Amino acid sequence: MANVVVVGSQWGDEGKGKIVDWLSSRADVVARFQGGHNAGHTLVVDGTTYKLSLLPSGIVRGGKLSVIGNGVVLDPWAFLDEVKRIKAQGVTVDADSLQISESAALILPIHSELDGIRENRVDGVKIGTTKRGIGQAYEDKVARRAIRVCDLADPDHLQARVENLLHHHNALRRGLGQPESDAADLTQKLLDVAPHILPFMAPVWHTLDKASKAEKRILFEGAQGAMLDIDHGTYPFVTSSNTIAGQAAAGTGMGPRALNYVLGITKAYTTRVGEGPFPTELFDDVGQRLGERGHEFGTVTGRQRRCGWFDAVMVRQAIITGGITGIALTKLDVLDGLAELKICTGYRLNGKIVKRLPAGAANQAAVEPIYESMEGWQGSTRGARSWADLPAEAVKYVRRVEELIGCPVSMVSTSPEREDVILMRDPFKA
């Protein structure tokens, strides 16, 4: 049996939550490896909706171990709020079902405050973050001044670490005209929350190594999408971590040999939340229809997503940089009833045709999509669980997507419900 990495191949919001939940029935361990509580996964299980941000999607299934890896930045208070909410829905969350890496960096109140200040600049320049302090926590991690989960277990030295952190942050706050943060106050907040976090602390890399040696099946769960990757995305309108599959190794301590199959979750059209370029964005009735039928609102922020046609150029690029083995095509049913469908097969930039998304922000904003048109279908794909249930035009659309992105479709999702999936290839048996 193979270990499987699930990543997004677009700008996030591709429907990873449902697919991870579907796959978790076949897995023994589900591991988050990057991001924070800035991305949400919505699961619909037996009519009950679960909204997760930090907790791995496997937590809603009994008998599975969920782990939060070292590549994740963790807001202790947001984590506890989420645990409380999920417990109220009848889900068990304890040290037997969940582990948090001892080396995961913490998101603190000063991080979300700084994020909000930066996003509300008077000159109007912004990245479009969720204002939850994700990027600021990663900045401190890279700068070697972060407070980590393991520091909560060392109260004798915690204030010294906080003071070192605030040496940097208070200089920033003074420059921004903000009051300084008090080291004693922040330290006390951390000491108060520590007893609620430390029971989950564990050497996650060791846990996963033992699981692998015991031939347990591990599902690595990514957040956001390839085009939000800090290196390979539409910089600077990206997240602050690597979102591609290679991060599953670094973000859990497993090593690349543990990554056997990479499943790229890919929406049958394209959406994006927040700022940044979007070559195939639609501003007409079709774009509005996609948003309404697809319920395109962010799980975490509630912000309306921008909608557009499928961009094969972008997804093909994500498949290469992410090492994607096969894709799960989601929300095919949202396209039901459209007379004509379009797929972006290239871009026009400065009079030339290009077959990749340029790296520079100005060029990314300037590219014009080149479309190929296809006939839509009037029948329904919603709830389909086999090829025979799909209209012929829908099958043609899926096959054309495969050709253009150079990657096989392993799964097709036809509704938010867990079992409404057409399976061509089980990633765990690849």
Write out the catalytic residue numbers: 13, 41
For residue 367 the two structure tokens come to: 């590219």
Supply φ then ψ for residue 366, to 5 degrees. Answer: -95, -15
Q: Which residue stretches of 270-390 are H helix?
A: 285-293, 312-322, 361-366
CB 311 within 8 A of CB 280: yes
Torsions phi, psi of 413, nearest 5?
A: -100, 130
Q: Which residue type does 67 have?
A: V
Q: Are 291 and 305 in contact (CB under 8 A)?
A: yes
Q: How far apart are CA 123 and CA 293, in angstroms?
A: 36
Q: Closest by alpha carbon to 419, among 7, 21, 1, 56?
A: 21
Q: Alpha-carbon distance 406 to 389, whole Å?
A: 25
What is the C-alpha to C-alpha distance for residues 190 and 132, in angstroms, rounded to an integer?
18
Q: How far is CA 339 from the centre of its chain?
A: 32
* CB hemisphere CA count around 108 (13 angstroms): 26
CB neighbour list of residue 128: distance below 8 Å, 6 or more residues apart: 119, 237, 273, 274, 275, 276
| Distance in angstroms (rounded) separating the CA atoms of residues 273 and 377 | 28
Cα maximum dimension of the chain = 68
Q: What is the dihedral of CA 206, 429, 315, 283, to 10 degrees?
A: -100
User: How many angstroms separate the CA atoms of 16 and 354, rounded?
Assistant: 29
- The answer to whether residues 221 and 204 touch, using CB atoms and an 8 Å cutoff, is no
